Structure 1
Amino acid sequence: MAGLFRPTAADRCRLLDPGAGIGSLTSAFLDRCHPGDLRFFAIDVTAFELDGLLHAELARSLSRFTAHTQLTHEILGGDFIEQAVNRVQFGQTPFTHAILNPPYKKIGSASRYRLLLRQIGIETVNLYSAFVALTVALMAPGGQVVAIIPRSFCNGPYYRPFRDFMLERAAIRHLHLFDSRTNAFKDDAVLQENIIIVLERGARQGEVTVSASTDDGFSDLASHTHPFERIVLPGDPERFIQVPMTLEPNAIERSPAVACSLAEIGVGVSTGPVVDFRLKVHLRDLPGPGTVPLLYPAHFRGLGTEWPKPGLKKPNAIQRNAETEKWLYPNGCYCVVRRFSAKEERRRIIAGAVRPGAFDGTEMLGFENHLNVFHERKQGLPEALALGLAVFLSTSAVDENFRRFNGHTQVNATDLKLMKYPSRAALIALGEWAISTATAPTQAMIDGQLAKLTL
């Protein structure tokens, strides 16, 4: 992280480290300054650390550099968010550099933090994005920020205001991705990829360097430079941040046949409406009188459905009555996608298809909340269209393309809405191919169909 700062002509550095701990990141920055790689006549360090028990060790870490560096430092306890908001409001001397590994914790919509941040135009849902936004706000023009944070800010509606705030005030210079969710952070239960981001306050946006390594050893470091148009796609209303891993466009980018929105093909996607713990009294282990099928991710295998599944440890059915009726869909053909993947799972998007013949003529179906459901105005799809969507979403190219902006275990309906799809006719042709295939199609067979798509 310290090596990602660019030399400047400034002779004085004002470094911010919010959440400094024992000073590991600041020490790395000062180590780089010592041999003259970053040349400053003087360095002022402001280190925020909420835990007073760490202050003595933090002071010792910083004091090591005073012998060979014109260094002054201050260690501030208390709440960084509160103090940073005050600094922004009163226009205190801004910083030229910042290095941070912020805390990760959700911020409640009515919490004190949310209200404080709104005072200076920051709307965000997690401490880590609040720390980054405040740090950007505290930077002088040309100020450089290097942060290691979860990748969840790259997509999804909840982080849209944060993306807007960041992109309007800073240029992205570098993104470094750890390909493994576990190898770089062995002591943590990491459910999403972490990313190092380099920002420059008030700079003109240009090309972005994207690098990746499997783990914290960086032995297999690979790096490419991309035009910004590959990082934030022109015309993307959500401003998702893509992280392309190769210079060459992938099969989705190259295909002129993949250019339609879901709305253009007349399809909607929603999160499964049955939240099982809220309807627990109505759930049944196995189907019986007055019940309808309840479908979980475990009921799907390949492109098909396995229902019921005795011994599943999940209910197979839900009672149909006045309390559950509004959460049910008419029996029909649907495409479904799992909302969550397991850590290090081979695929991020796992799609399947529902066909009414599997449910003995039942009138209604229940889709549990861990599924995303493709439908037409809450009704079923034509069989070939449902299967065509499942085939398209099961291609390796779609999965690779999705991973460019999604780095965690969740696949949201919003993400699926914003993807591009083949035309309705092309999807139906894919579905007809799947219906006519004598055996379950292999991954190679599915991937081969993508190249045959026509407009």
Structure 2
Amino acid sequence: MEEVKLLQQLETADGVRREVAARTEQKHKAEFGQFMTPSSVARFMASLFPPSALRTCRLLDAGAGVGALSCAFLDRWVTCGFGFESVEATAYEIDEKLRGHLSQHLAAYSRVTPRIITGDYIELATADGLDDRGYTHAILNPPYKKINSRSDHRLALRTVGIETVNLYSAFVALAVGEAALGGQIVAIIPRSFCNGPYYRPFREFILERAAIRHMHLFETRNKAFRDDEVLQENIIIRLERGGQQGTVTITTSTDDSFSDLITHEHPFDRIVFPDDAERFIHVPTTPEKSAIELSPAVRFSLADIGVKVSTGPVVDFRLKAHLRDMPEPGAVPLIYPGHLSMAGTLWPVPGLRKPNAIMRNDETEKWLYPNGFYCVVRRFSSKEEKRRVVASIVDPAALEDHSVLGFENHLNLFHENKRGLPEALARGLAVFLNTNAVDEHFRRFNGHTQVNATDLKLMKYPSRDALIELGKWAKQKGNLTQEQIDAKLETLSK
């Protein structure tokens, strides 16, 4: 009877969560980076912990909210999901509006010793250095909020060797640091930590101290926190403190009902590539190798073919005073995604809602490139778009007689030491990148919607000679169909 009563705690907590979320102003949620966990997600997260025969569990729930995650974990325990005799539950919650609910929900468990801490988790966890606090389990839905580089939080984290840009990654790093050897950490966090330079120190911190055991990906971005209208792509991850890295379980589901759960096992070298200095974390969604991985002709790095890729250097809001809606004397072309298609470049575009030009002067000169042929890939797409990788050619003939041009920050450009490419090479790169095989390969390993220059740098390519031949073929053929592009890839020589 007690178990039945206790099993109602998660549902009680979920009802409180919905009620509190509905009446909490968006400003308050933003202040605390607060997005509370639905019961379906909490229950799934609790299910990811491996069985344990420990006599005493020391549970950490940092940023506990109303206690949904702790309740899901404790519900699993009281239904014989773990062999603990008792649980010491430490829950941090800074929002006084939630702590009363949290306390009430944890107090319902008779063999649990709750310890509710009202202070700031980052301040308290870093106060005396980051030591093993003996936590055997941690279950987290940490706050999502950027950390200013000069903030007290950032400085406190640096004292314990954590360099990161968001509260969520700070909480996970601290939880790993405080966990006992063999401690299990399950967290639901934005997927943004998997790639990009800003989260590289966090990835290194985690990978040095823990093994990745499981990652779950939602195929629909807005379903994990639908009540809060969160569009951030989220991932659930299980880490083992001090564990020896082995294969990684990857699961996917369309949404938080988990009704179509698919499970695969992957070797770790498909999760973090051995030669990747950036330590990107990939989430492959199928065990089969892609056509790109299997092709003997696609095995060269960009360095091998003498090409570099960079993010467009013109950040428009920083150079706003120099932007012009349409060309005028002293202005040069400024290329946005809206100027490009797989067919080529169209410039200027009246009514684009973006500037078509940027003034050339002492302040802008360092951001400009010589006019020439470039292969360009846009950095952003929506997850629902058919293609993730879309490559275009910047043709100098479309840019009138301008000697230089600007590339806006939402583009990646392939170049030779900040100069244009030979026309055939630029066209060959564009054809290769526009194959369905490349797009499929990219989606398998990079589920995020952002295509970073580093992603493109890590890819393998055909040889320079093969790309030049591909470019000559493309120019001779003119307008190409997707079928022609895909068929041509199969004919490439090594």
In structure 2, the CA distance between the partners of 1:147 and 1:211, relative to structure 1 (3 Å rule), is same
In the TM superposition, what are the counterparts of 1:31-180 in structure 2 within 5 Å? 31-66=75-110, 70-86=111-127, 88-89=129-130, 91=131, 93-180=133-220
In structure 2, the CA distance between the partners of 1:136 and 1:298, relative to structure 1 (3 Å rule), is same
Residue in structure 2 matched with residue 371 of structure 1 by the alignment: 411
Residue in structure 2 matched with residue 300 of structure 1 by the alignment: 340
The answer to whether the 8 Å contact 2:132/2:177 transfers is: no
* 1:169, distance to aligned residue in structure 2 (A): 1.0
2:490 is aligned with 1:446: no
What letter corresponds to residue 180 of structure 2 in structure 1?
A
Residue in structure 2 matched with residue 235 of structure 1 by the alignment: 275
2:244 is aligned with 1:204: yes
Aligned pairs, how many?
Answer: 450
Residue in structure 2 matched with residue 283 of structure 1 by the alignment: 323
Higher relative contact order (CA 8 A, sep 6+): 1
Relative to its length, the structure with more helix (as a share) is: 2
The answer to whether the 8 Å contact 2:286/2:444 transfers is: no
In the TM superposition, what are the counterparts of 1:231-380 in structure 2 within 5 Å? 231-380=271-420
Residue in structure 2 matched with residue 26 of structure 1 by the alignment: 70
The answer to whether the 8 Å contact 2:62/2:121 transfers is: yes
- 1:92 & 1:142 partners in 2: Cα distance? 11
The answer to whether the 8 Å contact 2:312/2:409 transfers is: yes
In structure 2, the CA distance between the partners of 1:326 and 1:88, relative to structure 1 (3 Å rule), is closer
* 1:163, distance to aligned residue in structure 2 (A): 1.2
In structure 2, the CA distance between the partners of 1:322 and 1:231, relative to structure 1 (3 Å rule), is closer
* 1:60, distance to aligned residue in structure 2 (A): 1.5
> Taking structure 1 as the reference length, what is the TM-score of the superposition?
0.94
- 1:199 & 1:327 partners in 2: Cα distance? 42
* 1:189, distance to aligned residue in structure 2 (A): 5.2
* 1:310, distance to aligned residue in structure 2 (A): 1.0
- 1:281 & 1:137 partners in 2: Cα distance? 46
Question: After alignment, is 360-369 or 332-341 more displaced?
Answer: 360-369
- 1:393 & 1:44 partners in 2: Cα distance? 53
What letter corresponds to residue 435 of structure 1 in structure 2?
K
Residue in structure 1 matched with residue 28 of structure 2 by the alignment: none
What SS does the corresponding residue of 1:422 show, helix, strand or coil? coil
In structure 2, the CA distance between the partners of 1:397 and 1:182, relative to structure 1 (3 Å rule), is farther
2:433 is aligned with 1:393: yes
In structure 2, the CA distance between the partners of 1:145 and 1:278, relative to structure 1 (3 Å rule), is closer
Q: Which digits, 9 at most, give the CA deviation of each residue in 1:355-384, with x for residues without a partner?
A: 111122322222122211111111110111
What letter corresponds to residue 444 of structure 1 in structure 2?
E
* 1:162, distance to aligned residue in structure 2 (A): 1.2
- 1:211 & 1:372 partners in 2: Cα distance? 31
Q: Which digits, 9 at most, give the CA deviation of each residue in 1:407-427, with x for residues without a partner?
A: 434322222222222211121
What SS does the corresponding residue of 1:241 show, helix, strand or coil? coil
> Taking structure 2 as the reference length, what is the TM-score of the superposition?
0.87
Q: Which digits, 9 at most, give the CA deviation of each residue in 1:126-185, with x for residues without a partner?
A: 111111110011111111010001111111222121111111111111110111212333
Residue in structure 1 matched with residue 15 of structure 2 by the alignment: none
What letter corresponds to residue 26 of structure 1 in structure 2?
S
| Identity in percent | 65
RMSD: 1.8
What SS does the corresponding residue of 2:243 show, helix, strand or coil? coil
